[in-house]
Amino acid sequence: MKPIYFPYTHLSVKAMEDLGIFFSQVVAYQPSNLPISAEVDALVQSGRLAIRVPFTDHSDNLEQVVKAYQTWARQHQGAEFAYFKANQGAIPFYDAASIHQIRTEIRRTQQEDARTGEPDGEATQQLMQARVFLHLAQEFDSQNQAISHSLISQADMERAMLQKLQGETDSDESPLLSTEVFRADLTGEYMIAERLAAWGTLLLHDPELTGVFVTASRPALTAILDDRSGVVEIGRWTCPREGCFEHQPDWQGLFAQYLHRLATEAWPIDMPQQIILPPPMSEVQGVTLTVYLVAGTKPYDFWKGWAKQRMSDVASASLADRCLNTVVVLMTYSNQRAYR
């Protein structure tokens, strides 16, 4: 059962690589078939990442909206973050003229559906809005991640210079100036509820949906825990980035089988001894998975609450029908610099 990454469609290459420590492949959604970056494509080609586009209708209309945003972003260079926070009540990242452009495209979509006999114009509008939101959030996250990485490089150079001036040697125990810089610019933490709602709307159209979902965002997990009672922490698994399973080559497969059982069998479920890891020798650069179970709640029922939309006819016949429970996995780091 392949875990599905949420609630972002902008993919951090570092997060995808670190998830590869525990999973042979992770699935990530995209709101359309628009091109992905070369770095992300390399992960796809290696087999560690599977890109899935649950809904592809009206992609031409969506592309027009994305182009309108890119034009707006170029005209307002440097103002995206402030504008993003100031306009949370509207379709994100847009001024009045741009919102009019989006609504025009959504109306065009509804008119096309009416001509072709497609029912439920409201559902179509919600889906289009969700895809627009995810695309614009993806652009926004990508731009701000690039800024964050630039700040990290500058902060680390400052640290190295200070150490040389003070006659110190570089070590993993030395505090990173970049930690506070990077932590302060985690733009993906904003509008978490809106991100979960938009992502959940896309998920309801996935015919290959399973019951295991993974995130590298603690705010996303917190939103889920705050929204729903009865979420049980099942266990934690920590290992360093290098050589974690050299003596346990079958660990990934056994762990995947355990997650499958968590999703498909009635709780409680015994944990196999083979997947229990010894305490790490050092937490430096360690990666931790914390597994949570929403017992008795099927994946569609879980995400419908966020999406506030009925599931599609295609999705209702998916593999997720076999799941009795929903499994949510959080990936965290002992070194904050690696977060997201």
Summarised one tens digit per residue, pLDDT across range 120-158 is 556 777 788 888 888 888 877 877 766 555 555 555 666
115-to-9, 12, 119, 233 alpha-carbon distances in Å: 31, 40, 10, 49
**Which residues lie below 8 Å from residue 247, measured CB to CB, with a gap of 6+?**
none
Q: Is residue 329 part of a domain?
A: no
Q: Is residue 180 part of a domain?
A: yes
* CA-based R_g, the chain, Å: 21
**Secondary structure (DSSP) of 228-281:** -S-EEEEEEEEEESSSTTTT-TTHHHHHHHHHHHHHHSPSP-PPPGGGPPPPPS
Q: Is residue 296 part of a domain?
A: no
Residue 175: pLDDT band (50, 70, 90) is: very low
The yes-or-no verdict on residue 115 having pLDDT over 70 is no
**Which residues lie below 8 Å from residue 155, measured CB to CB, with a gap of 6+?**
176, 177, 178, 181
Cα end-to-end distance, the chain, whole Å:
23
Per-residue model confidence (pLDDT) at position 315: 56
Q: Is residue 149 part of a domain?
A: yes
User: What average pLDDT does this structure show over 294-303?
Assistant: 90
- Whether this prediction's pTM lies above 0.85 is answered by no
Q: Is residue 114 part of a domain?
A: yes
Per-residue model confidence (pLDDT) at position 81: 47
Full domain range(s) for residue 110: 59-187
Per-residue model confidence (pLDDT) at position 235: 94
Q: Domain total for the chain?
A: 1
Give per-residue pLDDT as tens, 322-333. 899 999 999 998
Q: Is residue 83 part of a domain?
A: yes
Per-residue model confidence (pLDDT) at position 217: 92
Q: Is residue 193 part of a domain?
A: no
Q: Is residue 18 part of a domain?
A: no
DSSP symbol at 9: S
Number of Cβ within 10 Å of residue 22's Cβ equals 23
**Spatial separation of the C-alpha atoms in residues 132 and 110, rounded to whole Å:** 15
Nearest to 72 by CA among 100, 107, 104, 105: 100
